[in-house]
Amino acid sequence: MSKKKLIHLIAAARPNFMKIGPLYHALKKEKLVDPIIVHTGQHYDLNMSDVFFKDLNLPTPQIHLGIGSGTHAEQTGNVMIAYEKILKINRPDLVVVVGDVNSTMATTLAAKKLDVMVAHLEAGLRSFDRTMPEEINRLVTDSLADLLWTHSYDADQNLIREGIPHSKIRMVGNIMIDSLEMLRSKIENETFSSRFKTKNKKYGIVTLHRPSNVDNIDNLHKICDVLLNLSKMISLVFPIHPRTLKRLKSNGFLSSLKNSQSLHLVEPLSYIRFMNLVYNSSLILTDSGGLQEETTYLGIPCLTMRPNTERPITVQQGTNRLCDVENVITYAEKYLKRIMNHSVPPLWDGHTSCRVLQSIKEFLCI
């Protein structure tokens, strides 16, 4: 009997877990592969990591690198050093990395330096903004990966333009829709959103954590003013990311937000609670990557407070609109009034993990 192929699934930060989840379950059903979850520890708080493993029914990671926070170089270097040790002891047949966080790039670098095969899920996304740390992570990861799984035609085109051979690229669709569909009944049965929904009264959700929005005091000040104004139009639920909470506290902005009756500040939420909130919301104001896609799938207006997006399909086909702090209110007024025309991009259908599994089987000849 042939030996099982060892596959490392790299999980590191909150947006990675819902991408690893459906893939782990699909691989676990396959007799000839042995999926091992490697958690780098980039996110470590209970509500930024553990709750996602519980919601997604994932086991405790078999390997935990325990890296934690640091500067970009510290975090990247520490992940590389720790993961190289693991690779030398227990060499996998394939390393699967997802998304664009520092650990995605660091584990790719460590693996490729040892000539271990790497596959990148969510490859080819480009904001063309190299001031974003994630754009650097995407460029490095995609240039080194052996197999690139994309979720849209524009991602394929970006890779081809960069000289990546067609033979390495597979369009597999959007894995996050798999998580949504996998947990749909639990999300629908969750009651968290009822705390914020009053009779006929809608609410919006705010999530902000990008350094470009929250690390600059002037921007953050303007954003806080906009949130207070927007909350007069529609009540808002704001699950605060640890980076954002730190900045709001250190700049003395937290108390004015707390004083608003219609702005509900909550801790970071679990996947099921958060998606339940999203399902029942009327508007999202965000700088997240994943939410731009989830709202496009669900048909909910999404205002992305960024000058660019690596996910243009969510603007062209979906319900996402880029905005800056100055035009949030105008956009919110417009999109709260009218239904947005939108369509769901091809292969955002809840079956991406099956296509990834098929691609892995072909790649590893099993």
Catalytic residue list: 209
**Binding test (CB under 6 A) with ligand UD1, winner from 5, 19, 43, 355:** 43
Half-sphere exposure of 96 (CA within 13 A, CB side): 29
> Is residue 134 near ligand UD1 by the rule CB under 6 A?
yes
Cα separation, 262 vs 235, in Å, equals: 5
Within 8 A by CB and 6+ apart from 223, the residues are 208, 213, 214, 305, 325
Please identify, among the stretches 7-15, 52-60, 115-123, 253-261, the one whose residues bind ligand UD1 according to the rule CB under 6 A: 7-15
Q: Total residues contacting ligand UD1 (rule CB under 6 A)?
A: 19
Taking alpha carbons only, the member of 114, 170, 109 closest to residue 145 is: 109
Beta-carbon count within 10 A of 31 CB? 8
Please identify, among the stretches 44-52, 215-223, 330-338, 340-348, the one whose residues bind ligand UD1 according to the rule CB under 6 A: 44-52
- Choose between 33 and 205: whose C-beta lies nearer to ligand UD1: 205
Q: Among all chains, which residue has been given the structure tokens 């584990």?
A: 107
Helix axes 328-337, 217-233, angle to 10 degrees: 30
**Binding test (CB under 6 A) with ligand UD1, winner from 101, 159, 187, 230:** 101
- Closest distance between ligand UD1 and the C-beta of residue 32, in Å? 33
- Closest distance between ligand UD1 and the C-beta of residue 175, in Å? 16
> Is residue 44 near ligand UD1 by the rule CB under 6 A?
yes
Please identify, among the stretches 82-90, 184-192, 237-245, 325-333, the one whose residues bind ligand UD1 according to the rule CB under 6 A: 237-245
- Closest distance between ligand UD1 and the C-beta of residue 11, in Å? 12
Burial of 365: CB neighbours in 10 Å, binned 0-12, 13-18, 19+: exposed
* Contacts of ligand UD1 in 174-233 (CB under 6 A): 209
Q: Give the C-alpha distances (Å, rounded to integers) separating 218 from 91, 206, 222, 253, 286.
A: 48, 19, 6, 11, 18
Cα separation, 165 vs 159, in Å, equals: 8
- Closest distance between ligand UD1 and the C-beta of residue 106, in Å? 9
- Choose between 242 and 346: whose C-beta lies nearer to ligand UD1: 242
**Binding test (CB under 6 A) with ligand UD1, winner from 40, 78, 102, 276:** 102
> Is residue 48 near ligand UD1 by the rule CB under 6 A?
yes
Contact flags string 51-70 toward ligand UD1, x per CB under 6 A: ------------------x-
DSSP tag of 98: E
- Choose between 26 and 305: whose C-beta lies nearer to ligand UD1: 305
- Which amino acid, 316? Q
Strands (E), the chain: 5-11, 33-39, 63-64, 94-98, 118-121, 147-150, 169-171, 203-207, 235-239, 263-266, 283-286, 302-305, 320-323
- Contacts with ligand UD1 by CB under 6 A lie at 13-15, 42-45, 48, 69, 100-102, 133-134, 209, 241-243, 246
